[in-house]
Structures are given as C-alpha cells and as structure tokens.
Amino acid sequence: MVNRRQFIGAGVGLAVASALAGRVSGGDGGPLRILILGGTSFLGPQIVNAARARGHAVTLFNRGKTNPGLFPDLETIIGDRDGGLAGLARRRWDAVVDTSGYLPRLVGDSARALVDAVERYLFISTISVYGSLAVAGIDESAPLGRLENPDTEAVDGETYGPLKALCEQAVNVVYGERATIIRPGLIVGPGDPTDRFTYWPVRLARGGRVLAPGDGLDPVQVIDVRDLGAWIVLCLEQPVAGVYNANGPRGALDMRGLLSACQAVAGGSATLRWADQQALAELGVEPWSDMPVWVPRDGEFAGVADVSVARAEARGLRARPVADTVRATLDWFVDSRGLDDPLRTGLSPEREAEVLAQLGAMSRSG
C-alpha cells in the first residue's frame, strides 16, 4: 500500500464565474489591487485571469524564472522570497495571494514585510496539513500534522503537509482576522505539471485496453484549477476570512464516473479492464502513484477523496461538471505536448501491458 511519503510526494517536486456576484471594490470603492506571490505556474495564471476578468489590478512578485513571458502587460516585481523582498517596500495593495509558500521562515518573512502594505493575506495551503486522512468527512477543525524537527527546510512527502501547517501559523500570527487560509485537495485541469489527473483523459484518448483500478466505486474528489482561481478572487471580493477546505463536492464522483467521462470525451475507442484492489496489490500496482487519482475507500488515506467542503460551498465555491475538466485537460495536453508525449506519472505503456497480461493469466488459472 502506498505510504504518506509516496502519496504526498507524488506532486511535491513538480509544485465559477457565475458565483462571483459579490461586491467588487478596493479601499477607494474601485477595483481591487491584488499582489500575487508567484503567479506564473498552474494555479497562479488562473487567479490572474479571474482577477483581470473582474476588472482588478494585478501585480506579480517572483524571480522571473518560471514562464517569464506569460503576462508581458502585467507589472512584475522581480525579487526573491529568501532575502530579496526589498521591491515590495513602500507599496500598497488591497490583498496578497501567496501561491508559492512552502517554508514557514520565508512565509513569515513575506507576511511581516507586507503587514502594513495589504489589508488581507490569502495563503494557499493544502489538505495535506491534516495529521490523518484516514477518516471520511474531516473538516477544518481536524488536528494538523506535526514535525519532529520544526526547523527542517527539507520539503518531501513526510514534511510537506506539516510545513504548510506551520506556514499557516506564520500568516495567522501576523494577520489574525485579516488572514484567509485555503486548503485545496487535488488541483486538476489545464496546465497541471504533475499529470496526475491528466493521466486518465490522455490514456483513454490513446485507446486500447486500459487498466482501471478497484470496483469503480472508490470516491474521487478534485478541484478544477479554474474554479479554484475564480473562488480565490471571490474570497478577496467578499472578503472571506478563516480556514477553508477547497475541493469538489463530496460524493459527487467516483472512479467509474471519472473514467466514463474520460471515455465519452475521448470518443469511446478504449475498453476498460477493471481489477480489484487485492489483485493489483499482488502485482505491485500502487494507488495514486501507479494509478493516479485512485485512493481506495479504506486504509490510511480513506478520507483523502472525501473531505468536507461545506464551509467553502457556503461562501460560494462551485465546481463545474467533470466532463468540462476532462475536455479542457485533454485539449491542453494535446495542444501543448502532443497525445503521445510520455506521462510523468502512472504506469508506463509497457508496465500496463504487462499487468494486463498477468491479470489475464490469473483469470485463466482461477
């Protein structure tokens, strides 16, 4: 069975327009002035797009190394979170969105540097902050993970979540009621550098016999990056304070529903070969890493795809149909990389063929 390091580490090394009906105003009654720490990778551009669509003014602060030409018409302050915050001095914004904070020391530095420059600090955290994800339905009050060595700055599958929890603490200490903490689940959609969700639309589009994990009833809970970006802007507009899990609705999707949506979007040329959890375990096929998105509904991570998002939904978080996410993800992958580009996670074609053959032999011998 996959362990915590494998589960979380799979994505660590790579880091609702209709709901936006709230009041839009900055301190002077006009559009918001929003500073984004990062802003050019996956979630960041979606926040930028949503903010600009609503008429807000956006400034980016980053090192200028990731997609530096993505927003040539936006003001970008070049700097470094580790000792290079001088460019933020003597400026004012209504809010800051921190998309790039992983170490509490650096998040604390930026929080203190901006305490008199912004009214609200919105920090992007993760559901991996929770000490246990074994129980379905956990909400924002669940205990957080802790580090044996809170001074560590090594980010891996064991430390990622607890470090994010310490980052949250650093923001809350400085901002109190002026802090907003967003804890997303699995963020998916166009631009995803991890290929975790992308694996399935692409694999179904390639056709042939496709290995499908479990009995199809294991829950799936994901948040489209475009919905998350739009809701983050809504949180700034209202404004929204406190801590919120941000994910798709509970109980709305399972593996069978996800793969059916992928099959429909891809044109239906693939055939699914479902294999139960025990058979896959015997063949060394792991949830999440070998079979992306899939988390069995029992065991250490039984609650990962069944987290309560009631608080966020009450404040306007909405999810689009999964078919929309599948279609946009597949279109982005094909346009940017080509359908045959190797996937960064999941089974290789050779390994999948081997497992399918082994499953066939097991069925004949049984």
Alpha-carbon distance of 323 to 148, in angstroms, equals 42
- Which tens digit of pLDDT belongs to each residue from 153-187? 999 999 999 999 999 999 999 999 999 999 999 99
pLDDT score, position 16: 29
Asked whether the predicted pLDDT for residue 21 surpasses 90, the reply is no
11 pLDDT band, cuts 50/70/90, is: low
pTM: 0.93
Residue 301 has pLDDT above 90, yes or no: yes
Structure confidence at residue 18 as a pLDDT band (50, 70, 90) = very low
pLDDT digits (tens, 9 = 90+) for 224-243: 999 999 999 999 999 999 99
What domain count does the chain have? 1
What contacts 224, CB < 8 A, 6 or more positions away? Answer: 188, 189, 248, 319, 320, 324, 325, 328
Q: What is the average pLDDT value for the chain, to the nearest integer?
A: 93
Q: Determine the Cα–Cα distance for residues 256 and 260; give it in Å rounded to an integer.
A: 6
Supply the pLDDT for residue 329. Answer: 98
pLDDT at position 4 over 90 = no
Handedness of CA 209, 214, 219, 223 (dihedral sign): negative
Give me the residues paired with residue 84 across strands: 80
8 pLDDT tier (thresholds 50, 70, 90) = low
Range of the domain at 50: 4-365
Summarize the confidence of residues 84-99 as an average pLDDT: 98
DSSP-derived secondary structure for 292-339: TT---SSSTTTTTT----HHHHHTT-----HHHHHHHHHHHHHHHT-T
Contacting residues for 251 by C-beta, under 8 A, at least 6 apart: 219, 306
What is the number of residues in the chain? Answer: 366
Task: With cut-offs at 50, 70 and 90, classify the pLDDT of residue 268.
Answer: confident
Q: Are 126 and 184 within 8 A, CB to CB?
A: yes
Mean pLDDT in residue range 296-304: 94
Q: Give the pairing type, strands 75-78 and 242-246.
A: unpaired
Could you give the percent of the chain with pLDDT greater than 70? 92
Angle at 234 between CA 232 and CA 235, to 5 degrees: 65
49-69 pLDDT, tens per residue? 999 999 999 999 999 999 999
From residue 36, alpha-carbon distances to 46, 49, 148, 193 in Å are: 11, 12, 32, 20
pLDDT confidence of residue 270: 97
- Residues with Cβ within 8 Å of residue 2, at least 6 apart in sequence: 286, 287, 288, 289, 301
pLDDT in tens, 118-148: 999 999 999 999 999 999 999 999 999 999 9
Average pLDDT estimate for 255-284: 96
Residue 345 belongs to domain with CATH number = 3.40.50.720
